[in-house]
Structure 1
């Protein structure tokens, strides 16, 4: 009888531990491929960029500003990953706010991309935005535990304050619309606002800034470096947000500032969090 109880207890402990699933998530504005970047052009940094992602091997990677050729370069390099999302000009055209996911750990159940505008189902530019803006999302299943989590990834406008505000409201509306079973939600992206902006204050009424609840924090406050290695970065504009009520433990939050020969792999630093689903 005693031996039976020990075996039963060990089985229960094993089941409990397997249900506490870790998930690493990265958001990364990769800087579009543009010749005027000169020494910082994509062709000169793509190998560094890819190797950095491979080294940290996030389970989820939300990218911003990825043009079609950059998406292909990343797909070629990240062989354990697949990607969801379309370009902001429709199909493969224009910059992507796509989501890469590790196929050894996750599978995608459904996905879509919508425009941050008054007509979100078709190519369009909204409100006072300088450019068309999109949000890509997917419902993912963690293979080991069968837990499900929604991932949303976006890039808010760099000029239009109304476009940023209305775009975020549209994202929150979409989350409410699709998340009928109240699964955990992770929102990644370049929001183009600092933490003291009213957009963040309003968003934090609905979601949690992963940095605020992280047990371990690493790296600088700022996430935008503008390729200026010899000047301190000052702006934090890239975020990983979590749904309320909180269903995550944030084990680690980091802003990663790797450089080679005084060159960064992008004009943004990647933000990486290690989460545990409760």
Structure 2
């Protein structure tokens, strides 16, 4: 599952984090993803999810200092089902090994990754979770290519790979078209019919058209059994976040 949970912005009014946070936890507990990649989580949000999702552990860092400052692209994993072997974070910039703003980006951007082992099958696989810049066109182009270089550098054993996140790009945009030449768009290869609205961004609007697909799950060497954009709401009929979670069932 990939989920932009919307950063804790006190100016969000009825959609502020304090009113949504239990609904986020309830949604995750209901769908029970083995792996959950979040975007926009501030440290206090990540800590809340970590304490509430007792079956999960996580890895990741804040993008501003590589510790706890700024938004995380944290990866949560179900501890009974999945074992963490290796993890790290790199910055989407020309100096990817340290906190930095890349190219024409407005902000620091990161990709958090992990090598995981599925306990039941002992199959290992890589997960990459990211959040592209919302302004810099060059940054988005270069970020896609940097991530593919990192995937190829790390994945020396040619293991299955998942790349997920909020790419701030539509399917027709050049970086997404490039990624589709390197990986498979899970939505395109799902064995069961895709389910849910076409888009993933609702902007907290009560009745959005939901046409903007900017959140994706890409795969390599995985079968995609199902691919869903979840449009669940809270008990007050509000959106759980300003993005819809993308939920996939994968098999080796």
TM range (shorter): over 0.9
Q: Offset of 1:249 from its aligned partner?
A: 1.7
3-state SS of 1:87 partner: coil
Q: What are the residue-to-residue correspondences of 1:88-127 with 2, within 5 Å?
A: 88-90=63-65, 91-127=67-103
Is it true that 1:142 corresponds to 2:95 in the alignment?
no
Q: Offset of 1:156 from its aligned partner?
A: 0.3
CA RMSD of aligned residues (A): 0.8
Deviations 1:39-92 (A, max 9, x none): 100001100111011100100000000000000110011100000110101201
Which 4+ stretches in 1 moved above 3 angstroms? none
Deviations 1:106-153 (A, max 9, x none): 111111001100111111000000110000000001111110000000
Q: What are the residue-to-residue correspondences of 1:127-206 with 2, within 5 Å?
A: 127-206=103-182
Q: Could you list the runs of 5+ residues in structure 2 that have no partner in the other structure?
A: none
**In the alignment, is the contact (CA less than 8 A) between 2:191 and 2:226 conserved in 1?**
yes
The whole-number CA distance in structure 2 between the counterparts of 1:32 and 1:207 is 29
The whole-number CA distance in structure 2 between the counterparts of 1:171 and 1:154 is 9
Is it true that 1:227 corresponds to 2:204 in the alignment?
yes
3-state SS of 2:172 partner: coil
Q: What residue is the counterpart of 1:15 in the other structure?
A: none
Q: Could you list the runs of 5+ residues in structure 1 that have no partner in the other structure?
A: 1-25
3-state SS of 2:27 partner: helix
TM-score, with length taken from structure 1: 0.88
**In the alignment, is the contact (CA less than 8 A) between 2:161 and 2:222 conserved in 1?**
no
Residue-pair matches, total: 249
The whole-number CA distance in structure 2 between the counterparts of 1:224 and 1:204 is 21
3-state SS of 2:88 partner: strand
Is it true that 1:60 corresponds to 2:35 in the alignment?
yes
